[in-house]
Every structure is written in structure tokens, then in C-alpha cells.
């Protein structure tokens, strides 16, 4: 009877464990980390259509979870959930929080939720602490790019456990993602739902391949990282003090601004039609056409060409 009771207890416990590759983590049961998010979205690194006002470039709050492999907050090339859609488009976290809570209640795949304050500029830092469990060693989070149609940065299922120990420190460069729910090309595009919904895709310097894309830099091989996240394991005797929080305005963040200078070439419109021929009858006159600047150059990019052009002509309608 004792053996049977013990067997039932073991089977019942095993059935409650999350299923996945992370179940082989044999590190100590719990570990605590400081997570620091650093925004690198500066006008120097990303000069094209950089948002300066209404609203200026900034980051939403961070929303993240520690979990097992049978839960996914978001995945590249898969469809975003309703919660991720609301967060990426509007910064609203209620539906995403409900999805996380349901995953924790139904399949016990979520260990903990964490969040960090928003950053009011494109560059700066925000931080918080998180706790991972040997059965829930994965970390996922999202931070919305503001303003944007449905763009965000984040991490999908980063494993902090290496066999029998927790990683001491890990840093990851972050790049922009499109949630696939809004079809805008620029930071300030109006809301235009993608129907049917597309999958989550990484935004690169050449994709979407459209000159209107705010991240379109055809001369670059790769975009510079727009943000970075660092996770540092806290010692057991840590007193529970919060990780350092520093919100640094773009002007004073010299280290971030000096990381990369992305050259931006001048862009001009097509030529207008030729104007009327001006001059005396039976003598050679001149006519002019013009164009205007669509995008000012930056960071030693190609300067703007001449905006007007003149050519000879014969005056018409002479008496």
C-alpha cells in the first residue's frame, strides 16, 4: 500500500511538470536575475524619419515571463496572439496578461511575470528583477517601439540554464520585429490593419523592400542593434535592492550615440514638368524644371543634387 501511494504521488507530480527540452535543467531550483534593457534608438544610428515630436522616439514598458518550453509569448514566423497584437500596436497589456495567466493556470508553464518602466526617449535604460525555476528556465519579453504601427523588440525563450548551472551573465542585441497585424511602413503611419494577418517577421535594412520603410537603408548589410538586454545572476546574499535604474536622454548618452553612425543619402523627388519658355520672339529663350528634397542627408551621406535645371528653348506663340 505504501509503495502504491508513493507511485501515485510520483506520477501525479510528474504529470504536472511542463514537457520540453528545458526539463533536463539540473541547476539549483531557483535563481534570481537583474535584467537591464538599454535603448540604442538614436538619431545618429537611425536617422531616417527619426521621430522628434508627437510623440518623440521612446520605448514602452517591458512585459516578460519566465516559463517552460510548452509556452510561447511570441515566435518569429508564427502568428502573433491577440495579446501581442494589442501590446505591439497600442501598448495595451491587459489581453496579453490574461493569456499569460491562463497558460500558468492550465498547463503550469509560466513561473513568473516581470515588468520594467517605460523609457521616455530612444536611448536610455530601464531595469527590474526576475526569478527563474529549474522547470521554468526560459525568459521571454516584449517592448513596444513608440511610435510605430506594430513594431517591437524582445526575446523569445532564452534559456538561462546550462545543464547543472545557471548562466552568470548574458547580453543580447535586439532588432526590430513586425507583429504582422498592421501594414504601416513608417513610424507615424496611421492604423491600417493587415488582412489577412501576417506572421511575426524581423525588420531589416532591406525588408520590407520599400523606400518608404523607416528602417530601409539599402547601403547597409545589417541594421545596427536598436536595443540591448543584459541579464546578470544575483548572488544568494543579495539584499533585494532594485537594479540600478537610469533613464538617459539622447543628448547625454554619448556612448550609445558613438556606437554607430548610419549614413543617410539625400532623397529628392522626380523632376516637375518644364515651365514656359521665357525669352524674346525669334531668339533663343530658357525654360526651367524643379524638384524638391524628400529626405535630408545625415551622417556624411550623399548630399542633395541641384534642385532646378535650365535648358534652352524657342519661345512659342510669337506674333
What confidence tier does 261 reach under pLDDT thresholds 50, 70, 90?
confident
Whether 2 has a pLDDT exceeding 60, the answer reads: no
d(CA 92, CA 195): 21
Whether 151 maps to a domain, the answer reads: yes
% of the chain beyond a pLDDT of 70: 85
Report, as an integer, the average pLDDT of 40-67: 94
Please state the pTM of the whole predicted model: 0.76
% of the chain beyond a pLDDT of 90: 55
d(CA 51, CA 42): 10
Q: What is the pLDDT of residue 255?
A: 43
- Domain with 277 in it: what CATH number? 2.20.100
Where is pLDDT greater, at 296 or 33?
Answer: 33
The secondary structure element, H or E, covering residue 115 is strand 110-116
- Report the DSSP pairing between strands 177-178 and 201-202: antiparallel
Domain boundary among 187, 207, 233: 233
Q: What is the pLDDT of residue 224?
A: 94
Where is pLDDT greater, at 47 or 263?
Answer: 47
Mean pLDDT score of the chain, rounded to an integer? 84
- Domain with 109 in it: what CATH number? 2.60.40.2130
Whether 82 and 221 map to the same domain: the answer is: yes
Whether 306 maps to a domain, the answer reads: yes
Q: What is the pLDDT of residue 250?
A: 37
Whether 18 maps to a domain, the answer reads: no
Whether 278 has a pLDDT exceeding 50, the answer reads: yes
Over residues 5-24, the pLDDT tens digits come to: 444 343 343 333 444 444 58
Q: What is the pLDDT of residue 237?
A: 59
Whether 92 and 144 map to the same domain: the answer is: yes
Closest CA relative to residue 123, chosen from 217, 215, 227: 227
Whether 201 and 58 map to the same domain: the answer is: yes
Which whole-number Å values give the CA distances from 184 to 70, 88, 180, 224, in the listed order?
32, 13, 10, 22
Whether 86 and 219 map to the same domain: the answer is: yes
Over residues 115-160, the pLDDT tens digits come to: 999 999 999 999 999 999 999 999 999 999 999 999 999 999 999 9
Q: What is the pLDDT of residue 300?
A: 76
- 3-class state of residue 116 by DSSP: strand
Q: State the virtual CA torsion across 210, 228, 177, 63 in degrees, nearest 10.
A: -150
Lowest mean pLDDT among 115-119, 201-205, 250-254: 250-254
Q: Read off the C-alpha cell for 86.
A: 494589442
Whether 80 and 206 map to the same domain: the answer is: yes
Whether 162 and 294 map to the same domain: the answer is: no
Q: What is the pLDDT of residue 101?
A: 92
Whether 172 and 276 map to the same domain: the answer is: no
Q: Kindly tell me the burial class for residue 122, based on how many C-beta atoms sit within 10 Å of its own C-beta (0-12, 13-18, 19 or more).
A: buried
Domain that holds residue 89: 31-233
Lowest mean pLDDT among 231-240, 267-276, 296-305: 231-240
d(CA 82, CA 64): 16
Whether 218 and 73 map to the same domain: the answer is: yes
Whether 26 maps to a domain, the answer reads: no
Where is pLDDT greater, at 3 or 88?
Answer: 88
Where is pLDDT greater, at 141 or 314?
Answer: 141
Whether 317 has a pLDDT exceeding 80, the answer reads: no
How many structural domains is the chain composed of? Answer: 2
Over residues 72-102, the pLDDT tens digits come to: 999 999 999 999 999 999 999 999 999 999 9
Over residues 224-248, the pLDDT tens digits come to: 999 999 999 998 754 444 444 444 3
Whether 182 and 111 map to the same domain: the answer is: yes
Q: What is the DSSP letter of 303?
A: P
d(CA 113, CA 129): 10
Whether 141 and 214 map to the same domain: the answer is: yes
Instruction: Please give the full DSSP string across 147-205, using - where no structure is assigned.
Output: S-SSEEEEEEEEE-EETTEE-SEEEEEE--EE-SSB---STTPPP-B-SSPPPPEE--S
Whether 197 and 285 map to the same domain: the answer is: no
Amino acid at each position: 500500500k505504501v509503495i502504491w501511494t508513493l507511485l501515485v504521488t510520483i506520477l501525479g507530480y510528474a504529470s504536472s511538470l511542463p514537457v520540453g527540452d528545458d526539463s533536463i535543467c539540473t541547476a539549483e531550483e531557483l535563481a534570481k536575475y537583474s535584467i537591464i534593457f538599454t535603448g540604442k534608438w538614436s538619431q545618429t544610428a537611425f536617422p531616417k524619419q527619426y521621430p522628434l515630436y508627437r510623440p518623440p522616439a521612446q520605448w514602452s514598458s517591458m512585459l516578460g515571463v519566465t516559463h517552460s518550453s510548452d509556452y510561447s509569448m511570441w515566435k518569429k514566423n508564427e502568428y502573433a496572439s491577440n495579446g501581442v497584437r494589442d501590446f505591439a500596436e497600442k501598448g495595451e497589456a491587459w489581453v496579453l496578461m490574461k493569456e499569460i495567466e491562463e497558460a500558468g493556470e492550465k498547463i503550469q508553464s509560466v513561473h513568473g511575470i516581470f515588468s520594467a518602466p517605460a523609457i521616455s526617449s530612444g536611448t536610455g535604460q530601464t531595469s527590474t528583477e526576475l526569478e527563474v525555476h529549474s522547470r521554468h528556465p526560459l525568459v521571454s519579453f516584449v517592448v513596444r517601439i513608440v511610435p510605430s504601427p506594430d513594431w517591437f523588440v524582445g526575446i523569445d525563450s532564452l534559456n538561462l540554464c546550462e545543464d547543472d548551472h545557471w548562466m552568470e551573465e548574458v547580453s543580447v542585441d535586439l532588432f526590430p520585429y513586425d507583429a504582422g497585424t498592421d501594414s504601416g511602413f513608417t513610424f507615424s503611419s496611421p492604423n491600417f490593419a493587415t488582412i489577412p494577418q501576417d506572421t511575426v517577421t524581423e525588420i531589416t535594412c532591406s525588408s520590407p523592400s520599400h523606400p518608404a520603410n523607416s528602417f530601409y537603408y539599402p547601403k547597409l548589410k545589417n541594421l545596427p542593434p536598436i536595443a540591448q538586454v543584459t541579464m546578470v545572476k544575483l548572488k544568494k546574499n543579495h539584499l533585494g535592492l532594485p537594479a540600478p535604474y537610469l533613464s538617459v536622454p539622447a543628448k547625454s548618452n554619448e556612448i550609445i550615440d558613438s556606437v554607430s553612425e548610419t549614413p543617410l543619402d539625400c532623397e529628392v523627388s522626380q523632376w516637375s514638368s518644364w515651365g514656359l519658355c521665357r525669352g524674346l520672339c525669334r531668339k533663343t529663350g530658357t525654360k526651367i524644371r524643379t524638384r524638391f528634397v524628400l529626405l535630408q542627408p545625415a551622417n556624411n551621406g550623399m548630399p542633395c543634387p541641384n534642385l532646378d535645371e535650365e535648358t534652352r528653348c524657342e519661345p512659342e506663340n510669337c506674333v
